[in-house]
Amino acid sequence: MIPYSEKKIKENIKTETNKFIDYTGLFFIGILSVGYLLYYRSFAKLHIDLIFIKAPFFVSDITFAVCGLLFFLKWLMNRKNFNIFTYLFLFYCGFVVIKTIVGYINWGPLSLRHAVLFCYPIFAIFSYSFYRNDFFEPKMTIFLIVVFIFILKFCIFHLYFSLTLFIITLILINAYPVKLIKYTLYFLLLLVFPYKLLFNTSRTFMTANLLAMMYISFSSLFISKIKSKYKFIFLLLFLLFVFLGLTKGSRPNEVESLVRFKGLMKRYNETKELIRVKELAFVPLKLGIKLYNEESEGAEKKIKYNSVPGLSTRYDDKLVAPPVLVKNMNYQPKSFSQTNLNKEKKEEISIALDEKSKEADITIPPREIEVAYSTSIFRILIWKDVFKELKTVRPLFGFNFGKPFRSQSLEITGNAIGEWSRDGWICLHNSYVDIVYRAGIVGILMVAFILIMLFSLIKISFRNRSLAGILLTGILINWFIAANFLEILEMPYSAIPLWSLFGLTSAYLFKNKTV
């Protein structure tokens, strides 16, 4: 029989150890996410080289290993019983490990890159386990608010995080208990936030931002108890904001390229006819496989510390400034046609920066509507070839990790030749299609689970009239919509923050009795 005092001491030690593990896990995930927010690809490239595998061990992999160890220690210490979710998790991990090993044996290190698409969702489990209400106490809350407002005003951050950063800061301010300070912080946030960036971005994120804002606005009005006339005024102001954003803030031709389906279909039909004529005589090139793209490294070495890492990169079939926000620089972006650049010079492109200027912002430059059509057709051709291959081969558990995907349609038309000829493969530009292509029936179940979980989180937010829940699910909707057209769930700088937030949102809504 253990004395009561001894039992209580052991319980206190266990409680404090759990708290330390949770705080440490959240700290590592938070630092990693802020690193991606500020430095994006350059931060993601930080790595160490391991002798026993022919692939780098990136900062995301290190964080995954640390969080995995913390999670396992917490599970052992609390001695939780196995349940259906434990067995599903173990099956999922075993599936990914087997696919990775088999793919590595048959295809090489590219298998590891494909494996991360299925490893990053585990960050949702980590963050769910590490979540603690007391972590977001007033001192920590005010610290995070100040940091995020400082970033919005003075720092360089990736354009795609604009809405996410605004909403997270808004949630933290709303949770702060002192009213005078709270209203002051509201004012500062509204004052420093660069609203134009919600629309002056890629078509994918302009659409994702718009749909997420619509969801947040209408849902917030629905759960709100304010009078109907004030809801109507707010709705009018929101519609005016959207109208001004689309007409004044978006890039020329972007909105037009989204609504002019006839022009897109005409270009697509012309491309289909070209493929039909040439496919019988088509002979695929023999290409080597490149694991990671380092095309912007030459530019990165020439840009100083207060500029954007990797500012010269490939975007929409041209070399232009990528979708990154840069403050306090006087810069006019220039595009470089691929046909006018030889292979050696592509890595040597640098961008002139005027360090004396403190006013100008850099966003994505305008483009012709035909170029916008071209990027849409580029994706359609990839997806058509993906589903054709799936229909022909019918792999029950998807294609091997490491197997390079090559689109015959792209190679016939020469579309994006700079990418697939350089790397020996092409991204699928749709995270859900990518999951199904690599995991087959397991991938279909995984996509279904994501949708079911998202719907459940939205349902709980409405049921509890939780404004924080509406805002958090709005962020998830924003990124999951973008994942239909970009490799959001494969790249660490977007996937890890997204999955971590997914886990934290689930913990906040499922674990809290009152939200």
pLDDT in tens, 60-75: 999 999 999 999 999 8
Identify the burial level of 329 via C-beta atoms within 10 angstroms of its C-beta, where 0-12 means exposed, 13-18 middle and 19 or more buried. buried
199, 325 contact by CB (below 8 A):
no
| Among the listed residues 487, 488, 463, 485, the one whose alpha carbon sits nearest the alpha carbon of residue 473 | 463
Domain residue spans in the chain?
Answer: 256-423
Residue 270 tokens read as 């012309």
Tokens 């890159």 label which residue?
A: 113
**205 vs 260: CA distance, rounded Å:** 18
pLDDT band at 319 (very low <50, low <70, confident <90, very high): very low
pLDDT tens for residues 268-294? 888 888 888 888 888 888 888 877 665
| Among the listed residues 64, 94, 74, the one whose alpha carbon sits nearest the alpha carbon of residue 20 | 74
126, 73 contact by CB (below 8 A):
no
pLDDT band at 5 (very low <50, low <70, confident <90, very high): confident
Kindly give the residue spans of alpha helices, DSSP state H, lying in 40-80.
41-44, 59-78
**22 vs 16: CA distance, rounded Å:** 10
pTM of the model: 0.84
pLDDT band at 327 (very low <50, low <70, confident <90, very high): very low
How far, CA to CA in Å, does 505 sit from each of 208, 223, 274, 361, 432? 19, 18, 48, 33, 21
314, 418 contact by CB (below 8 A):
yes
Sign of CA dihedral 373, 375, 376, 378: positive
In terms of C-beta distances under 8 Å and separation of at least 24 residues, what long-range contacts does 292-299 make, across chains too? 292/56, 292/113, 293/422, 293/423, 294/347, 295/346, 295/347, 295/422, 296/41, 296/347, 297/347, 298/346, 298/347, 298/348, 298/349, 298/350, 299/347, 299/348, 299/349, 299/350, 299/351
Q: Helices (H), strands (E): how many in the chain?
A: 21, 6
How far, CA to CA in Å, does 284 sit from each of 280, 281, 356, 401, 410? 11, 10, 50, 21, 11
pLDDT band at 14 (very low <50, low <70, confident <90, very high): confident
pLDDT band at 405 (very low <50, low <70, confident <90, very high): very high
DSSP class of 251: P
Q: What angle, 0 to 180 degrees and rounded to 10, lies between the N-to-C axes of helices 203-223 and 228-244?
A: 170
